[in-house]
């Protein structure tokens, strides 16, 4: 069971990093798509949608497995619950700000699409970094 938990943590981190990296490429892809280039750029949004949902799914799985393995002290503190809430915010930003912004951009409303994408990426990266910092609270790096 602990090996499954370790594997779930690794996948959680992998999908979080994938979303972050794809988000870094999105503004330049949006500029290219707005000018008629990058016909396959929509795949990045699809990959971002999948990676953020999998990121959150593995976060929930980590909590369930961690509780079964006896990590109640780590998983029932405010930093973990705050991270889970921020993770859900990140999923919602992706699905209800970034993706609709991309849809508006490719539908021809370039200005609205670029603004929503920029806003969504900015909020998303800030939330992602907040979650990243919360991982270290109470783990010997920053006091809880």
Q: Are 120 and 98 in contact (CB under 8 A)?
A: yes
Instruction: Name the burial class of residue 137, with classes exposed (0-12), middle (13-18) and buried (19+) by CB atoms within 10 angstroms of its CB.
Output: middle
51, 110 contact by CB (below 8 A): no
Sole residue written with tokens 């999923």: 91
> Which percentage of the chain shows pLDDT scores above 90?
74
> What was the pLDDT predicted at 140?
54
Asked if 83 and 55 touch (Cβ cutoff 8 Å), the reply is no
Q: pTM of the prediction?
A: 0.90
The pLDDT, as a whole number, for residue 8 is: 95
Walk along the chain (144 residues) in steps of 10 and give the mean pLDDT of each run.
92 97 94 83 94 97 92 84 96 98 93 96 97 80 52
pLDDT given for residue 85 in this prediction: 97
Query: Residue 116: which of 130, 126, 129, 104 has the closest Cα?
Result: 104
pLDDT the model gives residue 71: 83
Predicted local distance difference test score (pLDDT) of residue 138 = 63
């Amino acid at each position: 069971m602990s090996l499954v938990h370790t594997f779930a943590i690794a996948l959680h981190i992998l999908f979080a990093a994938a979303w972050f990296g794809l988000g870094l490429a999105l503004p330049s892809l949006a500029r290219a798509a707005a000018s008629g280039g990058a016909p396959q750029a929509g795949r990045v949004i699809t990959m971002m949608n999948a990676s953020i949902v999998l990121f959150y799914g593995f976060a929930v799985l980590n909590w369930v497995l961690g509780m079964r393995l006896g990590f109640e002290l780590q998983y029932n503190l405010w930093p973990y619950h705050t991270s889970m809430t921020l993770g859900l915010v990140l999923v919602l930003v992706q699905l209800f700000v970034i993706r609709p912004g991309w849809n508006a951009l490719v539908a021809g409303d370039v200005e609205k699409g670029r603004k929503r994408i920029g806003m969504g990426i900015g909020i998303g990266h800030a939330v992602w970094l907040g979650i990243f910092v919360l991982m270290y609270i109470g783990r010997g790096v920053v006091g809880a």
